Chain A
Amino acid sequence: MNPAAATMKHFRLTFFAAFYFAALTAQAQPSFTAPAPTPTVVEDAANRRAAYAARVQEVVTWRAGLAKPGDPATLGIAEIAAKLSLRQDAEVCSAQLIELLKTPAGDMFWMFPVTAVSYLGRDQLTPAAKTAVREAWRTYMPLRGDTENHWAMYYTSLYLMAQLWPGEAGDRWFNGKSSQENFTEARDYLIHWMTLATTIGQGEYDCTHYIGEYSIPMLYLATWAADPAMQQRGHMMLDYVMADYVAETLNGIYVGSHARTDDTTVREKWNGLASFFGWLMLGNCPPTAAYGGWGTYFAIVAKNYELPEVIYRMGTDRAGTYTHFERKRTRHRWRYSEVRNPPVYKTTYVTKDYAVGSDQGGLLQPIQQHSWDVTWAVPDPRGVHNTIFSTQPYFGPRELMMYFTEMPDFMPAAVTFQGKPTYISEAKLLGGSPYEQIFQQDDTVVSLSDVPAGTNFEQVNGFFSKDLARLEEDASGWIFAQGGHAYLAYRPLAGYDWQPIDGGGQRLRSPHGKNGTLVQAAAESEFKSWEEFKAAIRALPLELKLAPTPAVKFTTLRGKKIECVYGAAPRVDGRAIDYAKQWKLFSGPYLNAEVGSGRLTMTHGKLKRVLDFNTLTITDAVMP
């Protein structure tokens, strides 16, 4: 693209974005347009609760207000849910619901909103509207989906609706199964999923968007399940999902590696549904536009949940720098693997100024995997690309066949039409690679790649944000940068050039199959000056090799001697890393759980909460 065209495209995008946000803000989303909140710790529980309730009210009121009197087109399912939550306009909502149910679509994304409306409307909807809901669940067969977020929504909805309409025969249900059969199947799946997640780790882990597709169903179970055990499971899993998220946040922003993110959020880290939860639960970041879209469906019953103080403080009241370790699991592997859900080993290092997070590399989740980054803190994250990372851009039918049951050849191109437009692009910044191995020690990341000749693509892409305060190519081979109060030293292992990125920033394109990236982060406050930081980095012992396989020997700023050779276990101070032995389900100052235990211990200062899924108990304690 020539510069003029690029400028025009940027102008169009900016204009469109401004128009879009102006349209939304015209409907008054106070927290979206207000100055970013200053991260503070609300000490008083009642004040904390009141602030949470006010945020919940803001969402519901905004959503209900989108419906214009006399204009049914503005009254969608979300607006109906919001109005029923506020106990407003039940007659109008009922009439419009009947209309909307004449053309159901959206599969599991239809099921849970209709479930919410059904429960909120139990004493508000007209008999005709209730009949329309009942009929829709007889005639409309939703897809059950092909991944865990789909199944969480599908089976939670089915569980609750079978509970709402007990004792009915199969001919009353879209799938021909009786109420009891549906209830039992849904319960069994949900328990199966919870057991997997709490013993060997969540699949589709730590997603910047799909956190909503898990937390909303869990809130619904906690709110509406009649069985006390399932209600408790929902509550505990919601605690679990929130704790898992909060431990890897920087001022509410989900940091580090994600099973799934997208082309926007991978750069603008705040701009995902997860940040809605940061705002709602922690109050330390702005909400995303339209409260993340799905945020409404959480807010309508959010009064039935209160974030435990121990989790709240994990996200807002940190004593200092910490390292957090997690074990997750891959999406189901159908082909090309001896193991259904191989483990994912995550490391996240968090300071007040920046966070560094990673997985071990490889293909852990198709298409939207994000394997590592450094994210720096900013006063207002809206529109800011506060991150740096590199990827080994890879695509191919083998990745897709591993994780999907589709035929092979059409998929790579088809994926680009399904909301993942960069999938087959050499410029992509998103996705995992079977040829990338990553190791993180504290705030140092080494990513090595060894791409076979002829593979798409023999390359590494480094993301350099438009929001970097400094960017200097040093004669030593290091690239020095500053983002916020984070100093960054980035060392490409092979030659590179710079390419512009739509939306701002530059892509370091290193077109070599044997390749890698070494990054060392540090806080500005650790050094007297920028020059001192650069000198310190230059002085660190470093050996780089590309042949026969990429290798790095580096003594980190923290004094650790790391040795990484592609294809071999990383070594730290001479000792080989054994992921399988060393990585627990959670370990760190805040969250701890053994693999297979079904038991998560959360701690912050003197506060302790234990979620025990074996006994379905929550135990709170204040330690002496």
Chain B
Amino acid sequence: MSITKLKFLRLIGACTLAGLTTGAAAGPKHDLYMCVLLSGQGQVMGGRPPALSGVYRSTDRLTAEHVGFGHIRMFTVIADPRAADGLYLTALNGVVHSPDRGKTWHILTGWDMTEPKGIALDPHAPDHIYAGLPDGIAMSRDRGQTWQRMNAGIRRSYTHTITVDRTQAGRVLAGTELGIFLTEDGARTWRLVQATDDVTYDLRQSPHDPKAFLAVTASDGALWSADAGRTWRRIEGVPTTHTLHNGDFDPADARRLVLCGWEAGVQVSEDGGRTWSDRTAGLPNRQVWSVAVDPDQPARLYAAPYLQPVYVSDDFGRTWRPLFFEKATVYGISFVARP
């Protein structure tokens, strides 16, 4: 794409943003964070990366700035509710905290906890952090200063995703290799609420209905719970033959959901999950690693096809245009409320 064309697209994007944002001068209420690998398929640990991977932040939805250190494996960024500028990050090196929006970083976990993927804080006890590890679940009750293993009873405990029920302290759902587990006592005990053949890769609680949860899996498609994760049913119309990577609710519209996966492309529902449409047309491939709904701009979707730019859609996936990067693998897209 030529520079002139790129500038034109950015100008269009800026105009769109200005038009969509209430009180345009204030800008979005959230910062967009992306955990990105920019070195392509050949990058190995110990090599000199040809591009700067790591966490990128966009405050204006037009440009993305690199934040912190340049690692090739970072997974998700969430807010630290105890500090206005605080962030938690899961990365290959562990659970990492920044007190200053990414200027400095502190690894919270030790040698015995590697490659956490999922992370969640308990809104009723913001000092409590749960982390999903390849060998189980870790919990900290002191903002990451100390950690305990808390996956007793979970057999084959690979845990990729973890989410805290915002309605009840200590109520947590974990997506593991063999299914979805639930604790109601702060991870002291777990029970399997939904068996799966393979890994559950994402778990989300609806922002509209706290009893509604969405899960996406490696081989069981997408699952839905209407009773706060106690029971689950398979969502019809969603591919089950491919690995689904993640899903999201539109915070502005309870009817809208999105999910994505490898060869599954982007799938959306605009009727609360009853029916689903393929909205991959316009993306360069169907190997979509991550999707997210912008909390500040209704109907705005981001999708990250494998080794491609991050694309944006302002009509919930009907049309797409490239926005960030040229050749990215995006492990996670998240939004953090601006301080």
- Chain A residues in the interface with B (C-beta under 8 A): 105-110, 140-141, 143-146, 150-151, 155, 170-171, 174-177, 185-186, 188-189, 192, 332, 334-338, 340, 405, 407-410, 413-414, 417-419
CA distance A410 to B330 in the complex (A): 13
- A144-B245 in contact given A177-B107, A337-B156, A408-B218 (Cβ < 8 Å): no
Q: In the complex, what residue of chain A is closest to B69 when comparing beta carbons? A: A141
With A176-B104, A189-B111, A408-B243 as known contacts, state yes or no: A419 contacts B44, CB within 8 Å: yes
Among A335, A407, A419, point to the contact of B177 (Cβ < 8 A).
Answer: A335
Q: A106, B47: Cβ atoms under 8 Å?
A: yes
Tell me, in angstroms, the Cα distance from A106 to B70 when the chains sit together: 12
Task: Sort A-B residue pairs by CB-CB distance and give the 5 closest, nearest first.
Answer: A176-B106, A189-B111, A105-B48, A417-B42, A409-B262
Asked if B40 lies at the interface with its beta carbon under 8 angstroms from chain A, I say yes
B window 117-136: CB within 8 A of A: 117, 134-135
Number of interface residues of B (CB under 8 A): 46
Check A338 against B156 for contact (C-beta < 8 Å).
Answer: yes
Interface of chain B residues 24 through 69 with chain A (CB within 8 A): 40-49, 69
**Cβ-defined partner of A109 (8 Å) among B41, B46, B134, B329:** B46
> A146-B92, A405-B117, A417-B40 known; A185 and B45 CB under 8 Å?
no
Question: Are B243's CB and A151's CB within 8 A?
Answer: no
Q: How far is the CA of A340 from the CA of B157 in the complex (A)?
A: 11
Report which of B71, B104, B158, B306 forms a contact with A410, defined as CB distance below 8 A.
B306
* Closest chain A residue to B73, Cβ basis: A143
CB distance from A113 to the nearest CB of B (A): 11
For A106, list chain B residues within 8 Å (CB).
Answer: 46-48
With CB as the reference atom, state the residue of chain B lying closest to A187.
Answer: B111
From residue A411, how far is it (CB to closest CB) to chain B in Å?
10
- A194 to nearest B CB, angstroms? 13
Verify if B294 is at the interface (C-beta below 8 Å from A).
no
Expressed in whole angstroms, the Cα–Cα distance for A170 and B97 within the complex equals 13
B161 at the interface (CB under 8 A from A): no
Pairwise interchain contact B114-A175, C-beta atoms closer than 8 A: no
What CA separation (Å) do A486 and B83 show in the bound complex?
Answer: 71
In the complex, the answer to whether B262 meets A410 with C-beta atoms within 8 Å is: yes
Shortest beta-carbon distance from A408 to chain B in Å: 6
* Alpha-carbon separation in the docked complex, A185 to B108 (Å): 12
**B110 proximal to A (CB < 8 A):** yes
B104 touching A417, Cβ below 8 Å = no
Interface residue B93 (Cβ < 8 Å from any Cβ of A): yes
Residues of B within 8 A of A144 (CB): 92-94, 114
Q: How far is the CA of A332 from the CA of B113 in the complex (A)?
A: 13
Within 8 A of A (CB), among B167-213: 177, 199, 201
* Residue from A141, A334, A419 within 8 A of B135 (CB atoms): A334
Report if A176-B105 is in contact (Cβ < 8 Å); known contacts: A155-B111, A192-B111: yes
Q: Does B253 contact A (CB under 8 A)?
A: no
- Picked from B43, B106, B117, the residue with its CB within 8 Å of the CB of A177 is B106
Q: How far is the CA of A145 from the CA of B155 in the complex (A)?
A: 26
Among B158, B201, B262, which residue has the most Cβ atoms of chain A within 10 A?
B158
Chain B neighbourhood of A151, CB < 8 A: 111
Closest to B42 in A: A417
Q: How many angstroms from the CA of A527 to the CA of B199 in the assembled complex?
A: 58
Q: Are B115 and A146 in contact (CB under 8 A)?
A: yes
| Cα separation A218 to B216 with both chains bound (whole Å) | 45
Q: A175-B106, A409-B287, A417-B42 are in contact. List 12 more A-B contacts (CB 8 A).
A: A108-B45, A110-B46, A143-B46, A143-B93, A145-B45, A146-B115, A151-B111, A176-B107, A335-B177, A405-B115, A407-B243, A409-B262
**How many angstroms between the C-alpha atoms of A188 and B43 in the bound complex?**
30
**Cβ–Cβ < 8 Å partners of A332 in chain B:** 134-135
Known: A105-B48, A106-B46. A417 touches B93 (CB 8 A): no
Q: Does B72 contact A (CB under 8 A)?
A: yes
Assuming the A-B contacts A144-B93, A177-B107, are A407 and B262 also in contact, with contact meaning beta carbons closer than 8 angstroms in the complex?
yes
